[in-house]
Structure 1
Amino acid sequence: MLSVLDQVPVFRGDEPADAVREAVGLARAVESLGYHRFWVAEHHGSAANACAAPEILVAAVAGATERIRVGTGGVLLPYYSPLKVAETFRVLSALYPGRIDLGFGRGRGGPAVMAELLNPYTIATTEAYSEQVGRLLAFLGDVRTVSRVSVTPALAEPPMPWLLGSGAGSARLAGMLGLPFCFAQFIVADECPEAIEAYQKAFKASPWLDSPQAMLALRVLAADTADEAEELATCFWMSCTTGWRAQVRPADDYRGGVPTLVDAQRYTLTDEDRALRASRPYLQISGTAEAVGDEIRRLRKVYDVSEVMLTTNCPGGAARRRSYELLATEFALTASA
């Protein structure tokens, strides 16, 4: 089973508003290809991403699609009131019953200054976060907890909470609470199957799940040829390093957005680039659909998960959609999957 995480990338020269609208079009496209979920990330203070309010995009995407599950990957819970998050997603579930996922985590999602501006009262400790999660579940209707307030709207089927993380600590918390867990491999340098093992070992049945449900998130890029994939992938790798800025004309403005194909075509890899790619192979997995598919299958086996969520950041909506199309064919997805 394959799903999609959209970070709503903005490339140099593109309008951020167009990137937001493209997210809705991409959701429709991957639904027609047979992907199971479409989640939207949350980033702040970044010219390269236009997803500061994922809950609004979730509403737009759900309204423009029919079958695919829609959610967040994820709401940065320490910045917000658990009650407000629960109310927002209850409304979404009332509008689109049986289709809404509330993925949440504790990542920063942007510069430190943005975190302070979003919520200057945030206490980013493990204990405080665990308390927030408990309150969120209570407000979503977890029968193991008692809420002192009446949370509206009342629902027969609340949104499904997913705990997101990149380590064993968050995995254990998800297991102890009986929540589904998504492991973000694309932000971790090395394979970490012990996170899923910790999740499974800690898992206790809950009102949400009877048995463990884990998902793996990867950044991938598939193209018709290996050379095309490498050219498209270079744009992302350039955005991860500082060496590329030394190779451009002083008049060029590289402050806004992710590098484009034109930028990549006149770029020469630096030692910094090569070192990054060697040390962080899972930042992006690229190649032909067969090569990327083989790596997805291998990692799915390593982590022992049935579902993999894919995010693709490459210039042009057509190239992104082509990547998802090629992988849908590689894994024989169908619209009724």
Structure 2
Amino acid sequence: MSKTFADTGVRLSVLDLVPIVQGNTAADALRNSLDLAQHVENWGYHRYWLAEHHNMPGIASSATSVVIAHIAAGTQKIRVGSGGIMLPNHSPLMIAEQFGTLESLFPGRIDLGLGRAPGSDRATMRAIRRGLQQDGDDFPELLNELQQYFESHGEERRVRAIPGEGLSIPIWLLGSSDFSARLAARLGLPFAFASHFSPGYLLYAIQQYRQLFQSSSAEAKPYVMVGANVIVAESDEEAKFLATSMQQQVLSLIRGKPGQLPPPVENIDELWNPMEKAALEERARYTFIGTLSTVEAKILDFIRETSADEIIISSSIYSHSARVESYRRLGKLLQ
């Protein structure tokens, strides 16, 4: 008998960029995200993550901690967290307090995924008050400071994170290279790789992570999550049509003109040149589009290639109902 996804024991989770589609508002996007979270919770998805981006007209999750509270308050059991918070943009104390508050409100359900990239352009970095000379090299020191705030020190510590101190909040390191993979291995933390948009270093990074991993109180053994773009529809043709919205949005990023998520088009080849098409195809190495059977076969290949413990799914689809339906169809793999 051939192996199915259910046989692998791999978890499925959701990465939601809270897309603002053309013709809608950020308020619409936030309502749609809560609706999606409530559905995927019922379908057996393990966690629901939101990502920090700034100055992006098509993404409504810039105030990531606030959106996490919105999603967690409207759900019952699914884990909710950041995929991720860009730690160098923030004071570690403030992040400890924010996530300490979230964990106090929704105990046992909050994840803190951390990245070191700015999640923005240089002008936005200035507006965030992040120094333009910062390149993320101070990320290990910022992470250590953050972890210290979560430890129980009592009154001897002059500056304390309250809420936050003494709370057990899973910390994940996120990356698109081997920097965070090596750091996660040294600290014994779970690691998530952004293969949904940066596939090139995936296999090397997770190989380094597993090879260098040191057990800790957080994880006894390596735990790897990998990202994939997935669109599931009734037919391969319909799924490919829906995917043209995502392709157009990535094309706008390549051209330096990010915008809201556009409606799908019948012929995407009319919109890009050969170099742009090649760039998108390389970025889309771990993009799985088609019917459930088509996508399941590709996901099984992905698992064989990575030995991942969990796959986190991003689905940029213009129609909210089609996005919900895509996750519903994919969720059949969990049943």
Normalising by the residue count of structure 1, what TM-score does the alignment of the two structures yield?
Answer: 0.88
Does the residue aligned with 2:219 lie in a helix, a strand or coil? coil
Matched, 1:265 2:275: no
Alignment match, 1:29 = 39
Separation in structure 2 between the aligned mates of residue 195 and residue 209 of structure 1, nearest angstrom: 18
Q: Using the alignment, how far apart are the partners of 1:299 and 1:175 within structure 2?
A: 22
2:60 counterpart letter in structure 1: A
Deviation at 1:237, TM superposition (A): 0.9
Classify 1:56/1:271 alpha carbon distance in 2 versus 1 (closer, same or farther; 3 Å). Answer: same
Unaligned 5+ runs, structure 1: 246-253
Amino acid at match of 2:211: K
- The answer to whether the 8 A contact 1:238-1:244 is kept is no
Pairing partner for 2:194 from 167, 177, 184? 184
Deviation at 1:221?
1.1
SS at match of 1:282: coil
Confirm whether residue 110 of structure 1 aligns to residue 130 of structure 2: no
Verify the 8 A CA contact 2:56 2:258 in the aligned structure 1: no
SS in 2 for 1:38: strand
- The Cα offsets for residues 168-190 of structure 1, whole Å up to 9 and x where unpaired, read as 12100011011111011012143
What corresponds to 1:332 in structure 2?
334
Cα deviation for residue 204 of structure 1 reads 1.4
One-letter identity of the residue aligned with 1:271: N
Partner of 1:163: 173
Cα deviation for residue 257 of structure 1 reads 0.9
Aligned equivalents of 2:152, 2:133: Cα separation in 1: 24
Residue identity opposite 2:208 in structure 1: A
Report Cα offsets for 1:121-180 as digits up to 9, x if no partner.
Answer: 47524431111011111112289xx96533212666421111100111210001101111
Q: Could you list the runs of 5+ residues in structure 2 that have no partner in the other structure?
A: 1-10
Name the structure 1 match of 2:141: 131
Question: Could you tell me whether the CA contact under 8 Å between 1:243 and 1:270 is conserved in 2?
Answer: no
> How many Å separate the matches in 2 of 1:118 and 1:103?
20
Moved more, 208-217 or 309-318: 208-217
| 1:265 counterpart SS class | coil
Compared CA separation, residues 189 and 131, structure 1 to 2 (3 A) = same
- CA distance change for structure 1 residues 243 and 156 in 2, over 3 Å: closer, same or farther? closer
Q: 1-side partners of 2:330 and 2:245: how far apart?
A: 20
Equivalent residue number for residue 307 of structure 2: 304
Q: Map 1:216-255 onto structure 2 (within 5 A).
A: 216-241=226-251
The residue type equivalent to 1:159 in the other structure is: I
Q: Whole-Å Cα distance in 1 between the matches of residues 259 and 280 of structure 2?
A: 23
Q: Distance in 2 between matches of 1:220 and 1:332?
A: 15
Over 3 Å counting, the alpha-carbon distance change for 1:148 and 1:181 in structure 2 is farther
Q: Which stretch shows the higher mean deviation, 29-38 or 101-110? A: 101-110
SS in structure 2 of the partner of residue 52 of structure 1: coil
Pairing of 1:21-100 with structure 2 (within 5 A): 21-100=31-110
Distance 1:155 1:147, change over 3 A: closer
Residue in 1 that maps onto 2:4: none
Q: Secondary structure at the match of 1:320?
A: helix
Instruction: Report the Cα offset of residue 259 of structure 1.
Output: 1.3
Relative to 1, partners in 2 of residues 1:90 and 1:127: Cα closer, same or farther, differing over 3 Å?
same
Q: How far apart, CA to CA, are the structure 1 residues paired with 2:266 and 2:164?
A: 55
Amino acid in structure 2 at the alignment position of 1:274:
K
Q: What is the alpha-carbon distance in structure 2 between the residues aligned to residue 4 and residue 242 of structure 1?
A: 24
Q: Which one is further off, 265-274 or 74-83?
A: 265-274
Alpha carbons of structure 1 residues 106 and 255: separation in structure 2 relative to 1, 3 Å: closer
Name the residue aligned to 2:3.
none
Give the total of aligned pairs.
320
Task: Please state how far the C-alpha of 1:328 moved relative to its aligned partner.
Answer: 0.8
**Contact persistence 2:81–2:110 (CA under 8 A):** yes
The CA deviation string for residues 194-241 of structure 1, in whole angstroms up to 9 with x for no partner, is: 211111122112222222111111111111111111111111112222
SS of the equivalent of 1:127 reads: coil
8 Å contact from structure 2 (residues 213, 222) kept in 1: yes
1:142 and 1:225 map into 2 onto residues whose CA distance is 54
Q: Calculate the TM-score normalised by the size of structure 2.
A: 0.88
Cα 1:147–1:173 change in 2 (3 A) is farther
